[in-house]
């Protein structure tokens, strides 16, 4: 059994050897553990002695207690009870050493609130009680600087948790400051009165706090979380300022509690507090040693004092076994003089001992210069159950109006859904005590939910149960700084010499950044440099917007892009023709989120994003004289085509973006593009009523240099009512729909038009020449007595000729 210092000696042995002298230590039992104790909410030590009149907090003692006013103090996020002093005196019980007290306030209602409404998860009771124990140890360490006599008992500063799973008992013991009888009344008899808060206030008022305080407790209801799982709680405490040890005992749903002096010499402790929880029938599973150990590791892993749990252990040893009598007789018959070799087997011998469960120095409290990459990676994989090293990490401390420490990581693989804001990727600590991992929705926006890490703050605005992060200016500032650090970390990956790292990141989390373009307008300048796209000059490798701007032509003013469903479609679109001739690079937006992301960015480095499939495309090469001549020549043709197409198009114009195609159908400047219209049609729950409105304006652009358009121009002037010319316009519009990325409304009708045009163009081109009449006659004479087919020809043809004659 590994027990340090005075802990190695048992109480009973000390009593026997010292003839009733005060116990200097106590030991852990070697068999099934019995009831032990736990530190309650710490209380201010310099408490003025009150007369024999008490204040009630929980009871329904209404005859002598005036009505109390309960209000929520927003400054301390705590329940504050304004009570008038009462004349309710302590009620003596049958034991002359035991005194009975009534709670302050109404216990039946307030205790019910704590047990059933305040905490959503029962397992946090251990977190609260360990935090209280840590506060008691911190108080002792702080006060011992000026009052060395407080730590005269040479006992290690630690916390020990012991369980009795058979009887459903948990004991939590600390060697902290302890409490006197009056402090028990003030601290445990008053819900929502925090001894820690009063202690900190006293330090602040005296201006003696030269260093940062490590006190954890912030709320007086932390102790009462024990009643989440307990029917009865017993607190045995010994303050170094008192010669006596007192026992506080209370039950759930009771209106009173008792305080008595500890008279059993075997239960005396040198200093500190021992809290014993008698668990409810449904909560006895918490008394399993493994369960307690897991809870400590989850919530109190980084408490600054060692936490020991009572665990069952074992070691392997070899023991002798008896030989089989039959084998003994057989061997004896062969050679009775031969020495018989004893047989052994390996067995596991079990025993109980203390085991250190926590790490007292969290990695984020260390200097980043002293932490290696391997240590960061090991912490990441252990904390978040990962098997691959992170792509990047960021360890930082912020100071100023908001102070906190944090370590952030970018995972190497994607696990969570992009729309899930509660990913449990951010573990929030308050003074090294784990509070929750459901706060990343408040501390990080949804699109950065893939970032993992820990955040440790001393003054986060939590609610009284510490389970809800209250919206405040502090939270907004923390969120802003965390997001900024996350972007710096991602930017570091993009600037790394290993290009594969960012390609891996973009493959996993590129959609998240595109979502950020849509949702977070304030961080556009940080998101835009991280985006990657294919382009007309880089179809195999993704490029950044910085690379695009660097490759822009001197006369190029805008950043051009085309949205499509695939690289092949984007590469072959007619909208590219003139831009490729001018050697302008065009971004290919082939992901469904690309177009929306770019539209939300609007510009990058004072360069506007321009969709080359929209009307009014300006390539910077306008020739007004030439355009005037072309419009004069083809103006009548444009009107003629518009009259034929009717409401299908808003207008017909001369195109400046075509070089080889006869025509193209462009979208209105403020309407949906063909790609967006396709995506909206594919929406399962999309509102089809908006389709007509958003796609209402389509412009039909014609290429005046193409032979088809020139022929139509002649037809417009000579025979505008020619049915073939009219059908040519219809077919030209339908083919422009397809080439421009739109979907024809009636594919069957389009197919019929194509077949008709093909029949007109190919009619008789490959047909055999018509046979002459004399050839049939000569053929009949030649095959006079030939095959059956020939005989039929000889019979039929002369009859027909005879009839004609």
Annotated binding site for ATP: 128, 132, 174, 179, 194-195, 218-223, 273, 466
| Per-residue buried b or exposed e for 624-661, using 16+ beta carbons within 10 Å of the residue's own CB | eeeeeeeeeebeebbebbbebbeeebeebbbbbbbeeb
Sheet holding 607-611, edge to edge: 538-544, 532-535, 586-589, 559-563, 607-611, 603-604
State the sign of the Cα–Cα–Cα–Cα dihedral 272, 278, 282, 288.
positive
Which of 572, 579, 655, 569 lies closest to 611 in space, CA to CA? 579
**At 234, phi and psi to the nearest 5?**
-120, 125
User: Can you tell me which residue has the tokens 């799973």?
Assistant: 165
Q: Residue 94: which residues within 8 A CB-CB, separation 6 or more? A: none
Indicate the annotated binding residues.
128, 132, 174, 179, 194-195, 218-223, 273, 466
One-character DSSP codes across 539-592: EEEEEEHHHHHHH--TT--SEEEEE-SSHHHHHT-GGGHHHHHTT--EEEE-ST
One-character DSSP codes across 673-730: -HHHHHHHHH-TT--THHHHHHT--EEEEE-TTSHHHHHHHHHHHH-TT-HHHHHHHH
Question: Do residues 403 and 431 touch, judged by C-beta distance below 8 A?
Answer: no
State the sign of the Cα–Cα–Cα–Cα dihedral 286, 290, 295, 301.
positive
Rounded Cα distance, 629 and 704, in Å:
11
For residue 516, what are its two tokens? 């950020």
Question: Do residues 85 and 54 touch, judged by C-beta distance below 8 A?
Answer: no
Which of 557, 560, 430, 426 lies closest to 483 in space, CA to CA? 426
Which of 246, 38, 37 lies closest to 128 in space, CA to CA? 38
Cα 560–chain centre separation: 35
């Amino acid at each position: 059994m590994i027990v340090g210092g005075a802990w190695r000696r048992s109480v009973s042995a000390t009593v026997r050897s010292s003839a009733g002298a005060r116990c200097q230590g106590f030991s852990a039992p070697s068999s099934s553990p019995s009831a032990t104790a736990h530190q309650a909410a710490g209380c201010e030590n310099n408490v003025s002695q009150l007369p024999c009149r008490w204040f009630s907090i929980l009871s329904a003692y209404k005859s002598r207690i005036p009505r109390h006013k309960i209000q929520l103090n927003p400054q301390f996020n705590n329940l504050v009870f304004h009570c008038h002093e009462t004349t309710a005196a302590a009620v003596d019980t049958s034991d002359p050493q035991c005194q009975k007290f009534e709670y302050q306030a109404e216990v039946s209602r307030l205790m019910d609130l704590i047990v059933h409404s305040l905490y959503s998860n029962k397992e946090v009771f251990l977190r609260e009680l360990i935090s209280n124990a840590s506060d008691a140890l911190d108080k002792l360490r702080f006060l011992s600087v000026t009052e060395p006599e407080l730590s005269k008992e040479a006992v290690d500063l630690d916390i020990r948790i012991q369980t009795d799973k058979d009887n459903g008992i948990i004991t939590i013991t600390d060697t902290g400051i302890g409490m006197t009888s009056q402090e028990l009344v003030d601290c445990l008899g008053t819900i929502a009165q925090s001894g820690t808060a009063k202690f900190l206030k006293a330090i602040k008022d005296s201006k003696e706090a030269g260093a940062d305080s490590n006190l954890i407790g912030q709320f007086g209801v932390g102790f009462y979380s024990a009643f989440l799982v307990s029917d009865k709680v017993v607190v045995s405490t010994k303050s170094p300022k008192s010669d006596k040890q007192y026992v506080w005992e209370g039950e759930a749903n009771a209106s009173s509690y008792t305080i008595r002096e500890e008279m059993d010499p075997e239960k005396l402790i040198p200093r500190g507090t021992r809290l014993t929880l008698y668990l409810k029938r449904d909560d006895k599973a918490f008394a399993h040693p493994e369960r307690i150990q897991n809870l400590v590791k989850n919530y109190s892993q980084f408490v600054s004092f060692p936490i020991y749990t009572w665990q069952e252990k074992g070691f392997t040893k070899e023991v002798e076994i008896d030989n089989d009598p039959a084998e003994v007789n057989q061997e004896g018959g062969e050679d009775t003089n031969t020495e018989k070799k004893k047989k052994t087997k390996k067995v596991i011998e079990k025993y109980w001992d203390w085991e250190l469960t926590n790490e007292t120095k969290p990695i984020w409290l260390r200097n980043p210069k002293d932490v290696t990459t391997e240590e960061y990676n090991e912490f990441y994989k252990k904390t978040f159950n990962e098997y691959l090293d992170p792509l990047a990490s960021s360890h930082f401390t912020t100071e100023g109006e908001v102070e906190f420490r944090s370590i952030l990581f970018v995972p190497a693989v994607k696990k969570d859904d992009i729309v899930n804001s509660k990913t449990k990727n951010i573990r929030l600590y308050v003074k090294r005590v784990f509070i929750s991992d459901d706060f990343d929705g408040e501390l990080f926006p949804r699109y950065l939910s893939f970032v993992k890490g820990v955040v440790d703050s001393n003054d986060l605005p939590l609610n009284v149960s510490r389970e809800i992060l209250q919206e405040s200016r502090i939270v907004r500032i923390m969120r802003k700084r965390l997001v900024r650090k996350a972007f710096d970390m991602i930017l570091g990956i993009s600037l790394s010499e290993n290009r594969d790292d960012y390609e891996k990141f973009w493959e996993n989390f590129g959609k998240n950044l595109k979502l950020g373009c849509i949702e977070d307008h304030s961080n556009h300048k940080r998101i835009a440099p991280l985006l990657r796209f294919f382009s007309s000059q880089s179809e195999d490798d993704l490029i950044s917007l910085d690379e695009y701007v660097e490759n822009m032509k001197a006369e190029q003013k805008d950043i051009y892009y085309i949205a499509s469903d695939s690289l092949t479609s984007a590469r072959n679109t007619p909208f590219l023709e003139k831009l490729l001739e001018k050697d302008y690079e065009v971004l290919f937006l082939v992901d469904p989120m690309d177009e929306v992301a770019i539209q939300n960015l609007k510009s990058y480095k004072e360069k506007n994003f321009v969709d080359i499939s929209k009307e009014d495309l300006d390539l910077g090469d306008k020739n007004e004289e030439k355009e005037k001549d072309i419009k004069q020549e083809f103006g009548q043709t444009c009107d003629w085509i518009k009259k034929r197409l009717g409401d299908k198009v808003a207008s017909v114009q001369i195109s400046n973006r075509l070089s080889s195609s006869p025509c193209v159908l462009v979208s209105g400047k403020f309407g949906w593009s063909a790609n967006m219209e396709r995506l909206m049609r594919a929406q399962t729950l999309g509102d089809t009523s908006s389709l007509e409105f958003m796609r209402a304006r389509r412009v039909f652009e014609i290429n005046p240099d193409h032979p088809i358009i020139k022929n139509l121009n002649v037809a417009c002037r000579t025979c505008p009512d020619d049915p073939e010319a009219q059908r040519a316009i219809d077919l030209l519009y339908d083919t422009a729909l397809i080439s421009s990325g739109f979907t024809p409304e009636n594919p069957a009708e389009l197919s019929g038009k194509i077949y008709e045009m093909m029949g007109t163009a190919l009619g008789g081109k490959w047909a055999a020449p018509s046979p002459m009449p004399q050839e049939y006659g000569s053929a009949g004479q030649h095959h006079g007595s030939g095959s059956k087919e020939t005989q039929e020809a000889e019979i039929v043809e002369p009859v027909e000729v005879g009839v004609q004659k």
